[in-house]
Chains A and B, each alone.
Chain A
């Protein structure tokens, strides 16, 4: 199967999932699955989410089989990450995601995009850990959706 060498990895935050993916009827989730599946360098883990956020999303499922199905569907779209443990231990989601993004960008393709909602864009922008960092960028709403659409198109054309 032909694979895509994407120029950025994606880090999805909880507000992007709750406010954009869910509200858009989950079509974006399928596109994230294709990006994950067709990534040349990080197959099945190109897109990631902090494990704390991931666990919060699936914690509402009561029946074990439903929870397992939900986890598997979400993992196909974005992998939960918990390492380095010192980053996952950070309580503040914005600081945690920025530091995960910086760590991801320390390896090829050396650039990470954090996908979030409009209301949280400023919280990332004003976070002291984000100031002056060139290897990561934060995108919200349409800008973020456009990034997914563009990477998804690459998977179709490859």
Chain B
């Protein structure tokens, strides 16, 4: 079995929602990750950590705002 790969994706919440609604192959670390994505406004950006192993798992979702940008890039 190949190694798992973890990476970060930044995109509009609407695109992550589309991913969730259009495929059965997405799993979540826990329900809070799914709820965070579904409860975020379509036009807000999310930073989502993904894991690809035998399936795609979304590990975390954080709303992109000025505080997050400052913390990571400042």
Identify the A interface with B (CB < 8 A). 1, 22, 25-27, 29-30, 33-34, 37, 66, 68-76
Q: How far is the CB of B52 from the nearest CB of chain A, in Å? A: 14
- Whether A73 lies near B12 (C-beta < 8 A) is no
What 3 A-B pairs come out closest when comparing CB atoms? A26-B69, A76-B10, A72-B8
Taken together as a complex, chains A and B put the C-alpha atoms of A66 and B12 apart, in Å, by: 21
B23–chain A nearest beta-carbon distance, Å = 18
Total A-B Cβ pairs within 8 A: 53
Q: B9: shortest Cβ distance to chain A, in Å?
A: 6
Chain B: interface residue count, which band? 10 to 19
The answer to whether A73 and B11 have CB atoms under 8 Å apart is: no
Task: Given A1-B14, A30-B64, A37-B12, verify A72-B70 contact (CB < 8 Å).
Answer: no
Asked if residues A29 and B69 are in contact (CB atoms below 8 Å), the reply is yes
Set of chain A residues within 8 Å of B10, measured between Cβ atoms = 33, 72-73, 75-76
A22/B7 contact (C-beta < 8 A), A33-B45, A69-B47, A73-B64 known:
no
Interface of A (DSSP majority class): helix
> Would you call A30 and B69 a contact (CB within 8 A)?
yes
Do the beta carbons of B66 and A26 come within 8 Å of each other? yes
- Which chain B residues lie closer than 8 Å to A27 at the CB level? 66
Complex Cα spacing A72 to B14, Å: 18
A60 to chain B, nearest CB (A): 10
